[in-house]
Amino acid sequence: MRLAVRRTLRDLEPGRPVLAACSGGADSLALAGALAFEAPRSGRRAGGITVDHGLQAGSADRAHAVTVVLRDLGLDPVESAAATVGTRGGPEAAARDARYAILDEAAGRLGATVLLGHTLNDQAETVLLGLARGSGARSLSGMPQDFGRGAAHYVRPVLGLDRATTRRACLAMGLDPWDDPHNDDSTFTRVRVRRDALPVLEKTLGPGIAEALARTAGLLRDDADALDAWADGVLAGLGVGSGEPGTAPAVEVSALAELPRAVRTRVLRRVAIAAGSPAGTLAAVHVDAVDRLVTGWRGQHHVDLPGGVEVFRRYGRLLFGRTESA
């Protein structure tokens, strides 16, 4: 755990503060403990933050207890923030959105990088969830090691370590992790994957499934990054940038037809978003319908996309525009 955090700190911008996002569970608590050990040795300021989602009785007391542990570790500053969890996208997505809103604000205000305690097991679960949805390479590539959200920067130092390691690290550091009851609540899809699906795969196919899924995610991420870069280059060459939502771009069909489908559909998705179709509701089935205007043109009238965007094929071009009612 300490080595993983040491490598992360070494790669960060010199002098940049670091915050450990900590729920009190084994993964994030071990991360916080490792950060508290390594940060002074690297001359870096390190703090901690915990989020009270308000979804369980006594959650405020739990959040306060976590801040006490973080301060006892020597982290400074230490913050606790109460989240307002909505309902959009289901309970898991809503809680995640509320949590990131708080972490984004803290990271921006403090100019800090936030460390997240996601492990190899979390990565494997994410890949299986993507498989169940029939997702593409980008979704199956799982969680990135580091990423940005606006001005906020996030890193997952222990994405290559399993949960058993974080448990052992807590024991070695004398830390008592909290077991969130939601982690055993089968109403959550991820819990069912963790408790039921992965053990069945391990029993049927042999040990090492989580490691194999995480390794596959890394390979697919490399592929998805390369295809995305290709698509961005094509888009720039066509003179159609990501643009502001609401623009009405047009694309030459001949330029699209010669592209591999994996690149062409990425280009079409980007153009649709630029025309005003919301990324969160623009699904593969919508992009496939637009793609048929390129590869399976039979005089179709138009394709309707989320957000009131219509796509027509006229005189060898795809025209993306808004409906009058949109």
Averaged pLDDT for residues 102-109: 94
Over 80: is that where the pLDDT of 184 sits?
no
Tokens representing 216 are: 């596959």
Over 70: is that where the pLDDT of 241 sits?
no
Residue 203 and residue 218: Cα distance in Å, rounded?
A: 24
Averaged pLDDT for residues 253-270: 94
Beta bridge partners of 153: 113, 148
pLDDT at res. 137: 80
Task: Provide DSSP, 67-123.
Answer: HHHHHHTT-SSEEEEE-----TT-HHHHHHHHHHHHHHHHHHHHT-EEE----HHHH
pLDDT at res. 242: 45
Residues 54, 57, 63, CA angle at the centre, nearest 5°?
A: 55
pLDDT confidence bin for 109, thresholds 50/70/90: very high
Task: Provide DSSP, 193-262.
Answer: IIIIIHHHHHHHH-S-HHHHHHHHHHHHHHHHHHHHHHHHHHHHHHT--S--TT---EEEHHHHHTS-HH
Residue 43 and residue 114: Cα distance in Å, rounded?
A: 17
pLDDT at res. 204: 92
pLDDT at res. 326: 45
pLDDT at res. 143: 92
pLDDT at res. 295: 93
Averaged pLDDT for residues 55-59: 77
pLDDT at res. 171: 97
pLDDT at res. 245: 46
pLDDT at res. 244: 47
121-175 pLDDT, tens digit per residue, is: 999 999 998 888 777 788 788 899 999 998 899 999 999 999 999 999 999 999 9
pLDDT confidence bin for 40, thresholds 50/70/90: very high
Over 90: is that where the pLDDT of 190 sits?
no
Of 99, 65, 64, 78, the C-alpha closest to 35 is 78
Averaged pLDDT for residues 48-76: 90
pLDDT confidence bin for 324, thresholds 50/70/90: low
Q: What is the share, in percent, of the chain residues with pLDDT greater than 90?
A: 62
Classify the C-alpha dihedral 78-84-86-90 as positive or negative.
Answer: positive
pLDDT confidence bin for 246, thresholds 50/70/90: very low
pLDDT confidence bin for 183, thresholds 50/70/90: confident
Residue 119 and residue 124: Cα distance in Å, rounded?
A: 9
Residue 112 and residue 115: Cα distance in Å, rounded?
A: 10
200-211 pLDDT, tens digit per residue, is: 998 999 889 999
Averaged pLDDT for residues 271-275: 90
Residue 76 and residue 127: Cα distance in Å, rounded?
A: 35
Q: What is the pTM of this model?
A: 0.82
pLDDT at res. 243: 44
